[in-house]
Amino acid sequence: MPLLKVQLNHPGKEKSFRIGNGYHREGHLVIREWNDELKHYRKFIKCEGQFLTDVKSEPMRAPIYFWGEWEGHSIFTPLESEKPNGIHKPFHSLENVGRMNTDPYVFGSEFKYATCSQTGLLTELSPNSIVFFGTTTNKGFELDTVFVIKSFETAQSVFQTTAQSYSKVYLQETLERLGEEYLGPRFSTTNKLYKSMTWWDNSSYFSFVPCRLDPFQQPAKVVLPIPPFSKQKVGHPYGHLNKYDHLELWVWVVEEVIRQNFLLAVIFKEPSYH
């Protein structure tokens, strides 16, 4: 299995805020409903977690703000800004479940990556491979997740063990949304459920999400220049970064994230039932 460095584009837009358009009110709260569309959205999320100020620091706990994917329900606080248009506090509920899954899933003890654009070499990534999730814009590559692979489980194995090693929240938010891909008798013969290298596994080469302690600090997103990253179509993984050493590339991205005044989030509390 090859050790790869992959730029993986996925949709970067927020869902526009309008009551009745995927949002509703419950008392004084605004609820962003589980995404039932055929496309993904990013959210600007508030979540308890741990972060580093640099690679030499120790993890610190705090409520942190970051761009990520959570297609389940969230409490939404509208903002008067263009980006982000609001802050989401995720929660898990099986009321009015939508069709969309959350992937990559950065909550809990490790990040997980199960399906997004998994074709070809992306189904054969070896440990220490690295996937950069984000969205290409006219400004550059807007980075939201750095996923260093520690290990994986095949779809067949997940099916045969009835996903017993995963939390019920992950099972319901992601795996059940994928139909038979992981849980049905006609499971995928190619897909892998990749698990991340954490800071506690390797403090010199780990998965992280750029984050902030202040939700109003600008710029709103980390933007990596093109080149070395490339402008490419959403959903099409591109392996042009393979000409770079994986550790040197990881260090360069970390330094760029910190230079742009972001922190390194290394773990997020999994959303609870509501």
SS3 of 91, please? coil
Give a yes or no: residue 42 inside a domain.
yes
State yes or no: pLDDT of 236 exceeds 90.
no
For residue 103, the enclosing domain spans: 5-268
pLDDT of 4-38, one tens digit each? 999 999 999 999 999 999 999 999 999 999 999 99
Quickly list H helices, the chain: 155-160, 168-173, 180-183, 246-259
Give residue 118's pLDDT band: very low, low, confident or very high (50, 70, 90): very high
Asked whether the predicted pLDDT for residue 1 surpasses 80, the reply is: no
Among left, alpha and beta (phi > 0; psi -120 to 50; other), residue 106 is alpha
Residue 43 has pLDDT above 80, yes or no: yes
pLDDT at 232 over 90: no
- Asked whether residue 274 is assigned to any structural domain, the reply reads no
Prediction pTM value:
0.97
**Burial label, 70 (beta-carbon count in 10 A; 0-12, 13-18, 19+):** buried
Q: How much is the pLDDT for 123? A: 94
Q: Is the per-residue pLDDT at 103 higher than 90?
A: yes
Q: How confident is the model at residue 148 (pLDDT cuts 50, 70, 90)?
A: very high
**Per-residue pLDDT at 259 exceeds 90:** yes
In a domain, 273, yes or no: no
Question: What is the reported pLDDT for 217?
Answer: 94
Report yes or no on 48 lying in a domain. yes
pLDDT, tens digit, for every residue of 186-206? 999 999 999 999 999 999 999
Number of domains in the chain: 1
Phi-psi region of 45 (alpha: psi -120 to 50; beta: other; left: phi over 0): beta
* Residue in 237, 253, 257 with CA at minimum distance from that of residue 245: 253
pLDDT, residue 139, reads 93
Q: What is the mean pLDDT of residues 128-152?
A: 96
pLDDT of residue 268: 98
Would 52 be classed as within a structural domain? Answer: yes
